[in-house]
A = this chain, B = another copy of it.
Amino acid sequence: MQHSHGFHFMSATKLAIVGVGKIVRDQHLPAIAGNPDFELICTASRHGTVDGVASYGTIEAMLEAVPDIDAVSLCMPPQYRYEAAYAALNAGKHVFLEKPPGATLSEVQDLVRLADSKGLSLFASWHSRYAPAVEAAKAFLASTKIDSVHVIWKEDVRHWHPNQAWIWQAGGLGVFDPGINALSIITHILPRALFLTKATLEFPENRDAPIAADLHFSDVTKTPVHAEFDWRQTGKQSWDIVAETAAGRMVLSEGGAKLSINGEEKLSQPEREYPALYARFSEIIKAGRSDVDLAPLTHVADAFLLGRHKFVDSFYD
């Protein structure tokens, strides 16, 4: 229990997690444990469980067995997220959507309508927007003229997503699963809306999702933004955004954790993205509103729509 506004006691939000996997253990559980606004009371998952917390095989069984759940965090693969979100909203629960918020734009738009009609909070989380140096990068870019932007998001899928079959299935996004983090940052820090002008997507012959993507964006001022996503990177991994500006070169690196301007380090902090996400979720629940920005997923859909689809060598884990 925590004291709120000096007038009444507000209970912690009773939270359930659906889809207990790596991201839940690595990120959600520590963030929830560190936030007194939330109390984890149960989970639903086909395989995973959390020590000391009641677990159920399906969200439907959980919602029926535990009526006092206030909110659920949905962490299963995106292809299965709509059904669960619909069940949760329909049962009167606030909903936290892991990224990406769904397998299609239309289904997320449908969830927004449903949450609004029921007065519930829906949160489409974009964790990379809460990386430590992102706000400083946004402030810097707002203060100068941007000449060009280069996004380099290259990592080793075998290291980061070993044997995750869903990520290679249609709707699993492939290299856009990390790439959408970069898109969530640039759509937040750049001063003007982007649109895609040209794209190439490389699909392994034996997979239904791309292993690499090359994307060219522009904006109303014709500022070029070039993004390269690649999952075949061994050795040094890159999650960098480089902007050439009138005030020099800005490098936002390590996925948003570190900011340098003209080679000088301005900010470098350990990340605490998920604590910030749960703070935000609590904030929108208290404010009685939703937070759903579809821009990153819209750019991904646009890339599939506009992009040339090229087949490349088969991929095996």
In this complex, which of A107, A109, A196, A199 has the most chain B Cβ atoms within 10 angstroms of its Cβ?
A107
A1 lies within 8 A of chain B by Cβ: no
- Cβ contact within 8 Å between A302 and B196: no
A87 to B110 alpha-carbon distance, docked (Å): 34
In this complex, which of A109, A220, A306 has the most chain B Cβ atoms within 10 angstroms of its Cβ?
A306
- Cβ contact within 8 Å between A86 and B305: no
Give min CB distance, A80 to chain B, whole Å: 11
Give min CB distance, A106 to chain B, whole Å: 4
Given A103-B306, A194-B106: A220 touches B301 (CB 8 Å cut-off): no
Give min CB distance, A158 to chain B, whole Å: 23
Q: B-facing mask of A91-113, CB < 8 A → 1, else 0?
A: 00000000000011111011001
- Cβ contact within 8 Å between B302 and A106: yes
A229 lies within 8 A of chain B by Cβ: no
A195 lies within 8 A of chain B by Cβ: yes
User: How many copies of this chain does one complex carry?
Assistant: 2
A171 to B236 alpha-carbon distance, docked (Å): 34
- Cβ contact within 8 Å between B170 and A308: yes
A276 lies within 8 A of chain B by Cβ: no
In this complex, which of A295, A298, A300, A311 has the most chain B Cβ atoms within 10 angstroms of its Cβ?
A298
- Cβ contact within 8 Å between A195 and B104: yes
Q: B-facing mask of A286-317, CB < 8 A → 1, else 0?
A: 00000000010011111011111101000000
- Cβ contact within 8 Å between B305 and A104: yes
Kindly report which residue of chain B lies nearest to residue A308, judged by CB atoms.
B170
- Cβ contact within 8 Å between A171 and B306: yes
- Cβ contact within 8 Å between A104 and B196: yes
From B106, B307, B309, contact of A299 by CB (8 A): B106
Contact partners of A39 in chain B: CB under 8 A: none
A301 to B306 alpha-carbon distance, docked (Å): 9
Given A104-B306, A302-B104, A304-B301: A110 touches B220 (CB 8 Å cut-off): yes
A193 lies within 8 A of chain B by Cβ: yes
Query: Which A97-132 residues sit within 8 Å CB-CB of chain B?
Result: 103-107, 109-110, 113-114
Contact partners of A300 in chain B: CB under 8 A: 305
Q: B-facing mask of A166-194, CB < 8 A → 1, else 0?
A: 00001100000000000000000000011
Contact partners of A107 in chain B: CB under 8 A: 195-196
Contact partners of A171 in chain B: CB under 8 A: 305-306
A300 to B81 alpha-carbon distance, docked (Å): 20
Q: B-facing mask of A35-47, CB < 8 A → 1, else 0?
A: 0000000000000
- Cβ contact within 8 Å between B305 and A203: no
Contact partners of A86 in chain B: CB under 8 A: 220
Known: A104-B195, A106-B298, A301-B302. 15 other contacts (CB 8 A): A103-B306, A105-B302, A105-B305, A106-B193, A106-B194, A106-B299, A106-B302, A110-B195, A110-B220, A170-B306, A170-B309, A171-B306, A203-B309, A208-B309, A300-B305
